[in-house]
Amino acid sequence: MTRPQTHLSLAAGLALAGALALATLALAAGDAPKRASAKLQSPDSKVSGSVHFTQEAGGLHVVADVSGVTPGMHGIHVHENGVCTPPDFKSAGGHFNPGKTPHACMPTDPRHAGDFGNITVAADGKGHLDFMLAGATLSGDASVIGKSIVLHAGQDDCTTQPSGNSGDRLACGVIK
């Protein structure tokens, strides 16, 4: 006799839980962007690249690709201003550093939130990075949105303050 009633309330309970879960997901999605990207521009027309950011449960996933670049190691960082004015891209300012920490390379902690370190460019002029960036997000004070990515002519030595002595700015892209 009581069985059908139990089923009904169980079904209603599940439906309610489902609706709540959906509402929570919708709210979370509305609060913060899940993706951002930057397209690199350079006065050297051979140089191009892109950086994609995805907010995941474990942190901020970064995938960077460059091409047309001199083989070797090149410093690459998030810089504090979302302004890329060629040819020197000084408009991008210093490294994105919301935590007011010293410059370093992954996995050294602390370091600037914008410190990617280096991207290794192969003989074909192409470089690829795929990693999780600790200390940066797509919302709040540590958000990289509205900042810029700068690719340098030289190698980041991961030691020299405040920017690793990685030389001229080869390419720049605003993160949107």
Q: Applying CB under 5 A, which residues contact Cu ion? A: 77, 150
The answer to whether the bond into 162 is cis (omega within 30° of 0) is yes
Q: Active-site residue among 79, 128, 156, 168?
A: 79
Instruction: State which residue, 49 or 80, has the beta carbon closest to Zn ion.
Output: 80
By CB under 5 A, name the binding residues for Zn ion: 95, 103, 112, 115
Residue 68 corresponds to which tokens in the numbers above? 């047309």
Of 74, 111, 115, 156, catalytic: 115
Q: Is 152 a catalytic residue?
A: yes
Work out what residue 38 binds among Zn ion, Cu ion, none; the CB cut-off runs from 5 to 8 Å by kind.
none
CA angle 122, 126, 131 (to 5 degrees): 95
Q: What's the min distance (Å) between Cβ of 168 and Cu ion?
A: 10
In angstroms, give the least distance from the CB of 94 to Zn ion: 8
* Pair of tokens at residue 42: 């350079």
Q: Nearer to Zn ion by C-beta: 75 or 127?
A: 75
Q: Which does 150 bind (CB under 5 to 8 A by kind): Zn ion, Cu ion, none?
A: Cu ion
Alpha helices in 77-155 (DSSP H): none
CA distances in angstroms from 102 to 20, 94, 166, listed in the order given: 44, 12, 15
Residue whose Cβ sits closest to Cu ion: 77
Which residue number, 33 or 101, has a Cβ lying nearer to Cu ion?
101
Instruction: Please confirm, yes or no, whether 77 is among the known catalytic residues.
Output: yes
When the beta carbons of 59 and 94 are compared against Cu ion, the nearer one is 94
A 10 A CB-CB count for 131 gives: 15
Contact 61, 54 (CB under 8 A): yes
Tokens 């959906």 correspond to what residue? 22
The rounded distance, in Å, linking the Cα atoms of 128 and 105 is 17
User: Which residues are catalytically annotated?
Assistant: 77, 79, 95, 103, 112, 115, 152, 169
